[in-house]
Chains A and B, each alone.
Chain A
């Protein structure tokens, strides 16, 4: 659905993007994470046809963002980090204008505006001026605006910036709901817990490049639980027995060992974790706590970037 190949962009001699590549599949809710200045916004702006890359190729639903911008815009909705609104228009006028800007006319236009008002929950305030809305409601209005032409792909740059916790929760629900309807979403966010909560995969970007190695894309959620889990195991008694048992179990790998508490990576998802627990118990290890978890985005981020701010 979204394909990025070796994309490069320089500003005044400084590389904002330096050969970044990524593939986002149809129906994915994909996160983009990296420290400040890593190139997230530049990448999303290139995909949104606002910025031309110096080299490389990016396509959305098979259309090249550089050479077929109109085709891309018809299929894509973009929400910038600070979404602009016309304060002196009413909500209905604002949405109607953008519906017309997407070449919707007559009944289609009216239906699109009604759908957007209803979807955003702003229908009762349709005659209110945009300036009367809170920041959270303005974000919601702009998101509704990006959906007027029923895009197949949504590009969201830091959509939760400035939102209070309740508005963030609402935004997450809205994105989940859109994703369930089949919209592919690529979003960047500095709020890792939000990404962890809703994304199926997350890509890491640093200095305009993919983070090196296998950690460049992290699978999250249910999918991840079918792959590898990290188990925290606490025992009583001799730790040597646990070491021996783990040593003879090929699907497990010790990540960290602290006296009676071990962190172990086990393959095979939940079934793999259950098999490991059975193996330990039958091997004579007295387990008092066995806590299998999926990949932790914050841990992964810390491992990759240290103390750099996302």
Chain B
């Protein structure tokens, strides 16, 4: 086994946050479940003569839980990854690693494995909470599995970006700040960009529809204007973690049209940050 992994895990589990974070994380998720269930059963629904259906609670609760889980883990991922190489620089232990027979890839893998493993631990520990939705129906095990796997995929990429920042910067505070900036870019900025492009496309569509109607174009032809936004509008969403996780509820067609490109974008981000991180670790002797 890579000796870095054993050392990293030993050190992480000796930190107070090794047991405090999973506790707080599960309490937070439990709180989300209780709060959301309370809202669902107490809010009056005069518009819905059928009354509240269990499967609707299940589906909505699962979506809320998945988003809440992803949000918390996106906040935690930089804490584990962005400081993992800078801490070696700060406590001057990186020279010891670089002058041993460990390769930069060994160092990267040890750091990545240990920082990701903790997030996986959190993710797995929340499975019983997620499984509560089975009691309401509307969600199957496949969707739970897909949501977990896509969340893992996103976290792996974010950890890889955090490790690159950690290899690049000398101080943990800088690496962590830039990693959070990257997370904001792929979540908020991508959503805002999508919103702007979508509004523009909607406006163009309305103008085009008006032009066709004014020109006396048959209604059948006007109806052929596509309802789904084109690729250039959807593209910013491919880098958005919430979009990828939402695809857990999608059909096979959704996966083919949007899921695969989104996975590819995350894979490219992962590979780029991995490659640059390993290269940066190799040059790390100049920084220590």
A residues contacting B by CB (< 8 A) are 45, 48-52, 70, 73-74, 76, 78, 80, 82-89, 93, 97-98, 100-103, 142, 145, 149
Contact = CB atoms under 8 A, between A and B. Distances in A.
A153 to B, nearest CB: 12
Nearest to B14: A88
B204 interface: no
B10 A93 contact: yes
Contacts of A80: 92, 95, 288
B7 A97 contact: yes
Contacts of B6: 97, 100
Contacts, number: 71
Nearest to B7: A97
B92 A102 contact: no
A101 B93 contact: no
B11 A89 contact: yes
Q: Which 8 A-B pairs have the closest CB atoms?
A: A50-B285, A84-B92, A100-B3, A84-B93, A101-B100, A78-B99, A97-B7, A101-B102
A100 B95 CA distance: 16
B7 A86 contact: yes
Contacts of B11: 86, 88-89
Nearest to A78: B99
12 contacts: A48-B285, A50-B286, A70-B101, A76-B99, A84-B96, A86-B7, A88-B15, A89-B10, A89-B11, A98-B96, A101-B100, A101-B101
B286 A73 contact: no
B285 A73 contact: no
B92 A82 contact: yes
Nearest to B12: A88
A97 B3 contact: yes
A48 B99 contact: yes
Contacts of B95: 48, 50, 78, 80, 84
Contacts of A52: 286
Contacts of A45: 285
B7 A85 contact: no
A143 to B, nearest CB: 12
Interface in B91-149: 91-102
A48 B288 CA distance: 13
